[in-house]
């Protein structure tokens, strides 16, 4: 299966540091721009392919729910599985 994803930019700025969560939010935002309606499993696969194995489902869920609380993403429940999109 061929995946037409665009490589993600690094999460760090010119100083090599980012404010807390900013890099995580940016990484998920970039994936959801091209893959709206993705579930956490799909996001974890895409992010781990691009940014490394630290992007597992647990990390994706943690970040995506913080993004929901900040009003940055919305979810649609399909069965018991939430699908995520940018607001």
Query: How do the domains of the chain map onto residue ranges?
Result: 22-86
Contacts of 75 (CB under 8 A, 6+ apart): 68, 82, 83, 84, 85
- pTM for the model stands at 0.75
Give bridge partners of residue 78 from the DSSP assignment: 81
CATH assignment of 22-86, among 1.10.10.10, 2.130.10.10, 1.10.340.30, 2.60.120.10: 1.10.10.10
**Tens of pLDDT, residues 39-48:** 999 999 999 9
Task: Using the predicted structure, report yes or no on whether residue 60 has a pLDDT greater than 60.
Answer: yes
């Amino acid at each position: 299966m061929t995946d037409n994803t665009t490589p993600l930019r690094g999460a760090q700025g010119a100083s090599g540091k980012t404010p807390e969560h900013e890099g995580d939010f940016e990484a998920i935002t970039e994936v959801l721009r091209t893959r709206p309606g993705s579930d956490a499993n799909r996001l974890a696969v895409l992010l781990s392919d691009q940014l490394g194995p630290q992007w597992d489902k647990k990390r994706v869920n943690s970040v995506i729910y913080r993004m929901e609380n900040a009003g940055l993403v919305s979810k649609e429940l399909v069965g018991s599985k939430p699908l995520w999109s940018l607001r």
